Amino acid sequence: MEKRIGEPEVEAAQRDTAPPGQVQSVARAFALLEALAAQSEPMSLQRLAERTGLAQPTAHRLLKTMQELGYTRQTAGREYGLGPGLIALGNRAAPELAVRAQPMLRELEELSQETANLVVLDGTNAVYVAQQPSRHQMRMFTEVGRRVLPHAAGAGKAMLATLSETRVRAILEATGLPKYTATTRTTVTELLRELRDTRGRGYALDDGEREIGVRCIAVAVPGATPPAALSVSGPAARITDEMVPQVVAALQSAAARLGGGAR
């Protein structure tokens, strides 16, 4: 039986000392921002300190500084959330591919009535860079800017399927293959087999591998650098097997158009 790769190491920003070349205070500030971005609600100072491994006085000083700059905010209940200053930064940081993808994301949502996403591979993470939310009240929603491990995401697997086996193995060695649900692929052998299937059929499928009850269909954007993928995600009850061929055809058409000028 193949050994499962373990959980990733603690982030550098959470260590007592920063690795060579890193400025410790900057790494710690971004650890706090990423912890806030991972939650849908504001967090207390104590919880943020625990989540990032920082001492509360250190976390408090950094949060207050970022609050003065507009990058964090404090609620009436003295909890912290992301600040409006990040919106302008995010808009400026959005890749050209994300801007060009917006009309196609709207088309995909119109066809499927489910959430359409553009995801890129940034190092070892799949990052959501653009989205058209579903019109349904109950819908799949992943914040733009959210980083997830690629092995348990449809878009992540679509992008991994475009890479060499050597590079895929290097990514998995760095990230691990943590199990989120009963259907998550947790060994390299399982995932490599699925990536071969993905290349053969021309699309990737996430069938509740990260979130139970959520299904995602994804297609890689040809020629994109860094690798990118378009996906449609929603409740498994609505994204049925009968719906898959129509969504795949739409994704492949959109990806081909987007890939015509991808960079």
SS3 content of the chain, % helix, strand, coil (to 5): 45, 15, 40
- What pLDDT shows up at residue 250? 96
- What pLDDT shows up at residue 22? 67
CA 138-140-141 angle, to 5 degrees, is 110
In this structure, which CATH number among 3.40.50.1370, 1.10.3720.10, 1.10.10.10, 1.10.8.60 belongs to the domain 12-89?
1.10.10.10
Task: Identify the CA nearest to 131 among candidates 139, 35, 42, 240.
Answer: 139
- What pLDDT shows up at residue 99? 84
164, burial (CB in 10 Å: exposed 0-12, middle 13-18, buried 19+) = exposed
Boundaries of every domain in the chain: 12-89, 94-259
Contact 132, 116 (CB under 8 A): yes
Q: Against a cut of 0.85, is the pTM above it?
A: no
Mention the CATH class of domain 94-259. Answer: alpha beta
- What pLDDT shows up at residue 15? 39
Read off the DSSP letter of residue 183.
Answer: T
- What pLDDT shows up at residue 16? 44
- What pLDDT shows up at residue 120? 92
- What pLDDT shows up at residue 11? 37
- What pLDDT shows up at residue 29? 93
Report the chain (263 residues): mean pLDDT per 10 consecutive residues: 34 44 84 84 92 94 93 91 78 73 94 92 89 76 80 96 96 93 94 96 94 93 92 91 94 92 52
One-letter amino acid at 5 equals: I
Contact 102, 81 (CB under 8 A): no
Residues 6+ apart with CB under 8 A from 231: 116, 117, 119, 154, 155, 158, 216, 217, 218, 219, 251
- What pLDDT shows up at residue 1? 35
